[in-house]
Structure 1
Amino acid sequence: MQLFSDPKARPGLAQKLVVTAVAVIFFGQLTLYLTSRRWLNGTEKFLRTPTNILLLGVDAPNYNEQGELERPRTDTMLFLAVRPEQGRAALFSIPRDSLIEIPGVGMERLNMAHVHGGYELTKSLVEKIMEMPVDRYLMVDFQSFGEIVDLVGGVEVTVDKRMLYEDRSAGFRIDLQPGRQKLTGNQALGFVRFRRDALGDITRTRRQQQFLAALAQKLQEKETFLRLLGRLPDLIRIGRDYVQTDLQFSELLGLYLFFKDLDLGENLQTWTLPGEFSGPYWRLHPREIEHMTQAYR
């Protein structure tokens, strides 16, 4: 079954983007207070330079069949193309089940690249898929998601259906009633992770888009900014414990300045890489990807 091959189709983002957005805002705000002119010079350079950032969200580490601790899988992969001088950006969601040849392994899901070769292998495969370089990366741990939502005071969304699911081995339970409501961190985690739908992850990404839009609206409120400012120790702890990146402070500040006034509806395009289901895998369509990404090359 072929889905999202039309470049005009705009399915949702993944849950780690929520964490990433808050992390970027946090570091941007902190840098506004702490940076010197030296940092601001780097920010000005960033705001003149096209930059591609790979956003990765990782699961908890797993033990393999030999009882050895493996690197975590990349539950979410997002390719952010920032074009400051054009006043626009694009976010390309790369399905985690995308089928690709991993050197030394064979045909496998893309999210296994991090297990076999860490960030560098993941980066090289994403560059092959996108036919664009990755300039920077930002990796976040899924554990931070609920904490971030609670820090902003919860997020109001419309739950589209009854959601009931329990994974006793992982100690995780989803129990949501349909309707408009404010979700706590734990409830929001269930909302964006629920995948008992006919299209599984595809429907889930649409809910994540819905949640991201609601969170973005919440972050625009002055009360939310003041709340976060009053919780700086918690934000610093989350950034220290859950975020890895090679972005410099000046570049994080540049991201904050670029996105804080960006019209997200007009100047931020969001896409899922086109392809079709082939059993449990997502078989990518290279020519359609090339057409979709052409304007950002």
Structure 2
Amino acid sequence: MSNLSNGLPPRTQSGKKSPKQKKTKKKKSFFRSFMKFVLFLLIIGILAAGGYTYYIYNQVEEVLDTGNNKEVPQTELAEAKPLTILLLGTDYRPDHPTYLSDVIMVATLNPNTKSSTIVSLPRDTRLEMDGYKPRKLNEYYPVFKAREKESGEVAEEQMKKMIGKYLNINIDYVTVINFQGFRDVVDNLGGVDVTVDKNMCYRDRADGTDINLTAGAKHLNGDQALDFVRYRKSNCRPRTAESDDFDRNRRQNQVLHSLIDQMQSFNALTKFSAIIKSVDKNMMTDIESQQMKNIVQTYWNISKQNVKYNPVAGTWRSPYVYIDEQQLDAARQALQEELAKKANDSTATSSNS
């Protein structure tokens, strides 16, 4: 896990690349649909440890070292105050360093109620705001990256300021993650149980893609789970039915809940360190090591029913998404309400992502 202050790009897994890791335009479009899910894995990796937290904490203490050893005042620790974290998912690869942030999410954590509110923004959102040139939301991070030397400002800090201004909220930290750890997380948990909603078939020899799933209850490994959440259309004979964004969101959430159940099981206890390492290899953050450990200690028993997910939608008019202002206002209010919750507040509700 690297510290954002060093300005280096996210690290990727070492070793021989699989065919799926070759640079192609088709691969890039495929992975946009499940990047949001990878960020959920980050959140669960930080928060979900079931009733075995202190054992796990001791096992993974070294893994939770973010490289930032700055001391955090007691009043600023996760146990003492709500925190807000910007989560960026990029399609960065060494041979494809675009830094396009295909996922933009803001997560607020409240220690008083052990609850969280997560807001996600469409990558193609047209952002028009004083002080910023109008462009797609996912284009700002690579622009800030390209201007770091000229502006003297770290790109991640600029993203925190911009998204904070857009959502009317102060953002404490930022985490940037790519998709490389997805398969390892699933495989380290021994796979996931899902119900495949339809037959899925898609092949692309250019990047080694070979999606071939049949409908029904399935136990999927990492590669298969990746195929399940990213499937969009078919080029096989006979063709299988296509999927829209809503179908993919439902499948992503199904895998997410299966992983949460897996992580909170006894079998995940001895695998937790390997799971975090899978995320660690593909993540950068400015969260201090002391704070990261305190986050784990504070939210050891958070329930998935207390994680509320708020996707902000809009209208697609190529090449932009024009945000629904009522939904945006509701998301802003949800974040503010999460920050304001008190210990006796019973408003922490179940999440129907």
1:13 and 1:209 in contact (8 A); partners too: no
1:58 and 1:73 in contact (8 A); partners too: yes
1:294 to 2:333 alignment: yes
Q: What percent of counterpart residues are identical?
A: 26
Task: Name 1:66's counterpart in structure 2.
Answer: none
Specify which of 272, 283, 289 is matched with residue 249 of structure 1: 289
Specify which of 310, 313, 318 is matched with residue 279 of structure 1: 318
Give the whole-Å Cα distance in 1 for the aligned partners of 2:308 and 2:254: 15
Task: Name 1:115's counterpart in structure 2.
Answer: 142
Specify which of 220, 224, 230 is matched with residue 193 of structure 1: 230
Tell me the TM-score normalised to structure 1 length.
0.78
| Change in 2 beyond 3 A, CA 1:109/1:291 | same
1:19 to 2:41 alignment: yes
| Change in 2 beyond 3 A, CA 1:199/1:223 | closer
Q: Give the superposition deviation at 1:181.
A: 0.8
Q: Could you give the per-residue CA deviations for residues 33-86 of structure 1, whole angstroms, max 9, x where no partner exists?
A: 548xx98985983212121101122113487xxxxx643212222210111123
Backbone CA RMSD of aligned residues: 3.4
Task: Name 2:247's counterpart in structure 1.
Answer: 203
Give the whole-Å Cα distance in 2 for the aligned partners of 1:80 and 1:61: 25
Q: Give the superposition deviation at 1:276.
A: 2.2
Task: Name 1:55's counterpart in structure 2.
Answer: 87
Q: Could you give the per-residue CA deviations for residues 135-176 of structure 1, whole angstroms, max 9, x where no partner exists?
A: 111221211111111111111111111122234333333221
Letter in 2 for 1:57: G
Q: Could you give the per-residue CA deviations for residues 209-251 of structure 1, whole angstroms, max 9, x where no partner exists?
A: 111111001101011112335xx4x854x35531111112232
| Change in 2 beyond 3 A, CA 1:121/1:39 | closer
| Change in 2 beyond 3 A, CA 1:292/1:162 | same
| Change in 2 beyond 3 A, CA 1:26/1:253 | farther
| Change in 2 beyond 3 A, CA 1:279/1:239 | closer
Unaligned runs of 5+ in 2: 1-33, 63-69, 146-155, 234-240, 337-353
Aligned residues: 274
Task: Name 2:166's counterpart in structure 1.
Answer: 129
Give the whole-Å Cα distance in 2 for the aligned partners of 1:168 and 1:123: 39
Letter in 1 for 2:112: E
Give the whole-Å Cα distance in 1 for the aligned partners of 2:205 and 2:122: 26
Q: Give the superposition deviation at 1:31.
A: 4.7
Stretch of structure 1 that moved more, 284-293 or 73-82: 284-293
Q: Give the superposition deviation at 1:132.
A: 1.1
Task: Name 1:8's counterpart in structure 2.
Answer: none
| Change in 2 beyond 3 A, CA 1:61/1:226 | closer
1:62 and 1:71 in contact (8 A); partners too: no
Letter in 2 for 1:283: Y
| Change in 2 beyond 3 A, CA 1:22/1:268 | closer
Give the whole-Å Cα distance in 2 for the aligned partners of 1:62 and 1:235: 22
Give the whole-Å Cα distance in 1 for the aligned partners of 2:178 and 2:287: 17
Tell me the TM-score normalised to structure 2 length.
0.67
Q: How does 1:1-297 map to 2 (within 5 A)?
A: 14-21=36-43, 23-24=45-46, 31-33=57-59, 34=61, 45-61=77-93, 70-101=97-128, 106-118=133-145, 119-196=156-233, 200-229=244-273, 232=274, 235-236=276-277, 238-265=278-305, 267-297=306-336
1:62 and 1:70 in contact (8 A); partners too: yes
